[in-house]
Amino acid sequence: MSHAASSLVVLFDIDGTLVTCHGAGRVAIVEAFAEVTGGREALEGIAFAGMTDRAIVRAGLATGSWSRGGADDEALIDEVLARYLMHLPRALSDKAPRVFPGAVTLVQHVSGRPDTAVGLGTGNIAAGAKHKLLAAGLWQRFAFGGFGSDREDRAALLEVGAQRGAAHLSRPRRETKVVIVGDTPKDVRAAQAIGARCLAVASPHYPFEALRDAGADLTVSDLADPDALAFFD
């Protein structure tokens, strides 16, 4: 990657990339959804990975008819997300998030790169991202981000993060390169949609081949792989 002389914005996904919260996010959103709609099973068949929080709630609403509202009821979605934030700290406190191997070293490495802004690019609403990363001890490492509370579409929220990163560098967005670090094909495709490169980290859910085939510029089995560091040189 010939980034040596160019401004760079790096956006890290949270769940499955930096940390696992052991399903705490799912527990909290299922509880919130059940309280607001009465539907406890609606989210069961939905794979949350790579989805924004708002899209998850909307998908749950689309699975059935509730006593209140449907998939286009924005106020109802807001209510579920507000309750989700009430449940999330307790769900996180049941078991501390685990930071994945190599994640801290990579963030430190990239943060030390000249003319580089390091932020988040995540489908989590911003307040939820803060809860998760505070619990993991990582929140202070990120100065800005694009969040699920900024845009429901993943590519659009990454673009928001890219613009904030460019502002952080006092550079025009068009003069910055962007790298997305993520763990799902959705991350890879959203990166491509905004003209960013993508470093993908494989998992049992989304193995090496799936990420490579989606078009990731580099796929690693974990972030401790030296190739992950070298990707930013």
Positions in the binding site for Mg ion (CB under 5 A): 13, 15-16, 183
- Max distance between CA atoms of the chain, in angstroms, equals 57
Q: Which C-beta is closer to Mg ion: that of 19 or that of 117? A: 19
Separation CA 195–CA 214 (nearest Å): 14
Q: Which C-beta is closer to Mg ion: that of 76 or that of 103? A: 103
CB of 114 to Mg ion, least distance (A): 28
Q: Which structure tokens are listed for 58?
A: 């909307």
CB of 16 to Mg ion, least distance (A): 4
Q: Which residue is nearest to Mg ion (CB)?
A: 16
Task: Yes or no: say if 155 and 194 are a contact pair by the CB < 8 Å rule.
Answer: yes
CB of 50 to Mg ion, least distance (A): 6
Q: Tokens 């996180």 sit at which residue?
A: 92
Q: Tokens 């025009």 sit at which residue?
A: 172
Q: Tokens 């052991």 sit at which residue?
A: 22
Q: Which C-beta is closer to Mg ion: that of 36 or that of 136? A: 136
Alpha-carbon 25 to chain mean position: 12
Q: Which C-beta is closer to Mg ion: that of 15 or that of 225? A: 15
Q: Which structure tokens are listed for 2?
A: 């010939």
Phi and psi (nearest 5°) for 26? Answer: -65, -45
Residue 15 DSSP symbol: B
CB of 92 to Mg ion, least distance (A): 16
Q: Which C-beta is closer to Mg ion: that of 76 or that of 141? A: 141
CB of 183 to Mg ion, least distance (A): 4
Q: Which C-beta is closer to Mg ion: that of 37 or that of 52? A: 52
Separation CA 43–CA 59 (nearest Å): 8
Phi and psi (nearest 5°) for 220? Answer: -125, 155
CB of 123 to Mg ion, least distance (A): 8
